[in-house]
Structure 1
Amino acid sequence: MVIDLSQIDFSILTDNIEITLTLSWIVLSYIIRRYTKRVIRQHPKFEHDKKRQRINAVDNLFNLLLVVGFVLIWASELQNIAISIAAFMVALVIATKEFLACIVGAFYRASTRPYQVGDWVRIANYEGEVTDSDWLSTTLFEVDLKGGSYGYTGRTTVVPNSLLLTHTVQNLNYMRRYVTHTFSISRLSDEVNLFMIKDQILGKIREYSEHFHEVAIRYNSLIEKRLDINISGPEPRVRITTTPEGYNVFTVSLFCPTNEVVDIEQKVTEDFMRFWYEMRGQS
């Protein structure tokens, strides 16, 4: 029996080799990535945020290597269809301009490093803690900065990297520990002179701030040196104003630990109400 080798379709064997190499590359990359991330998580000398940054970097690196491996494995096939793709390049660019903008935004982020995993940032109208960043987007775990509680809301926002090219990026990482918190209390009645209770409220604020006052002074100086700007100091301030509607507004501003903002605000509000009703009863 004579076998005519010219009748054998070797392209089938070639395709099978490429498929086998592709599957092997996927499995090998998955195993190495999983082992590397496990080593990082179990490393005793890395802090929690450092581990998250290293794991994020490993994910991005292996995603890039996975794509490069696919390109190398299927290089011959890609070369065969390169000429056919050329005619569609203009239409492809127009159709994928948002995708390309995200890639360019990723290069911009890598070159300028405006933030890293674990930082508090504001991108356009989105605020939160950076939990993940890749070639296409940045994931934020939303923090209630506008509401003044500075706690996690439980919502996650995925911000496309294209916004980095068209909007301002603000790094708010210094607010993770201490923040200048301002809140106002309004009263419609003019029966009480708010200036009469101003010193009492300031005394209460200093009492609530006594246990962290020294640390606040050092942290305030650290922020000023790092940002090369002057910010409001750790001493509390009270401002009394009025509105066109006839409201008396009692505004308090203090530099305090972020995790104590709500507790101190509630205590000061309670003291204000007590002093206000006591003064009203005497009038």
Structure 2
Amino acid sequence: MFDVATEWFSAHKLFSSVILIAAYLLLRWMSNRFLRGEDEFVNEERRRLLSYVRNGLVLLLVLGLAMVWAPALRVFALSITAFLVALVLATKELILCVTGGLLRTAAGAFSVGDWIRVGQHRGEVVDQSFLSVTLQELEAGPHSHEFTGRTITLPNSLFLSTPAINEHFYKRYVYHPVEITLQEGDDPMATARLMERTMAEAAADSEEVARRYAALIRREAGVAMPPINPTARLTTSAEGRTRITVTGFLPTGEVDRIEKAVMEATVTELYRGREARAAQKLAAAAQPVPDRATPPATP
């Protein structure tokens, strides 16, 4: 029966192709309907499964069409050699995209839901196919963690020449620096201790989770992790001013809140210190200066 079905499909190539394409469209619609449902938001697991199903259906369609048309193509193989060469040259970019997709899949560089950076582009992978990868764009800069609302479609050929940096581990927790430059007269050590203390207090609720997550990264990546507690580092700016950078292992979604708390506490304390120094200078300037030109009275 299988041989009879194969011969029938081979004899009716056009009709068989229509059936295969119709089956592909029906199965794709059913998978989208089943996995997406009526929900407005599709979680990461279902997006990943939907991407796998869609790519698998495309592969089955290509294999089916190749099996249907293979006998006819073998007959004209010699006569269309020149045409195939021209076709390869014309579809060079598509071939590079497919090759880049195979390289990406074989290397396991990333999957749906990961945060990646490719060249100047950075975002969360929301879909991937044999030809392209779609990103939900993140703001520019390695320490930005907010989405811009735009999507980026990258051809897979880009992965043949540009490294893809996977930021999967930093999707939930990230080493984030908070930096401030002091003026003359400010106490750098007291300011550094204040910034460390404020950051630790603002992130106290997530400290235990941060320790477990850092241990997970250390175990899976096999690398030593920097300390997760807020750590201050003192440098100088181009103008010779003291610059303090405090880095902590913070929840990605809480970075803006924690940074705001640290900056508000630090700026408030620095402003108070500067006001106190200015008041002391005014008080010193207001004191009368003894007249040294008048000689003391002699008895």
Name the TM tier (shorter chain): 0.7 to 0.9
Does the aligned pair in 2 maintain the 1:121–1:170 contact within 8 Å? yes
Equivalent-residue separation in structure 2 for 1:235 and 1:195 (angstroms): 17
How far did 1:112 drift?
1.7
Could you tell me the TM-score, scaled by structure 1's length?
0.84
Compared CA separation, residues 93 and 74, structure 1 to 2 (3 A): closer
Query: Match for residue 82 of structure 2?
Result: 87
How far did 1:17 drift?
5.0
Equivalent-residue separation in structure 2 for 1:197 and 1:164 (angstroms): 45
Query: Match for residue 78 of structure 1?
Result: 73
C-alpha offsets along residues 148-168 of structure 1, whole Å, 9 cap, x if unaligned? 330111121112212222222
Note the residue ranges of structure 2 that are not aligned, 5 or more in a row. Answer: 1-8, 278-299
1:165 is aligned with what amino acid?
Answer: L
Q: Among residues 153, 174, 178, which one is paired with 1:179 in the alignment?
A: 174
Aligned residues: 264
Equivalent-residue separation in structure 2 for 1:68 and 1:221 (angstroms): 45
1:143 is aligned with what amino acid?
Answer: L
Q: Among residues 241, 245, 257, which one is paired with 2:235 in the alignment?
A: 241
| 1:1-283 correspondence to structure 2 within 5 Å | 18-41=13-36, 48-144=43-139, 146=141, 148-187=143-182, 189-283=183-277
Compared CA separation, residues 99 and 48, structure 1 to 2 (3 A): same
2:133 is aligned with what amino acid?
Answer: T
> Percent identity between the aligned chains?
33
Compared CA separation, residues 90 and 32, structure 1 to 2 (3 A): closer
Equivalent-residue separation in structure 2 for 1:147 and 1:124 (angstroms): 12
Larger radius of gyration between Structure 1 and Structure 2? 2
Query: Match for residue 9 of structure 1?
Result: none
Does the aligned pair in 2 maintain the 1:37–1:58 contact within 8 Å? no
Compared CA separation, residues 93 and 21, structure 1 to 2 (3 A): closer
How far did 1:18 drift?
4.1
How far did 1:80 drift?
4.7
How far did 1:93 drift?
3.1
Q: Which stretch has the larger CA shift, 74-83 or 108-117?
A: 74-83
Could you tell me the TM-score, scaled by structure 2's length?
0.80
Cα RMSD (Å) of the superposition? 2.4
2:230 is aligned with what amino acid?
Answer: P
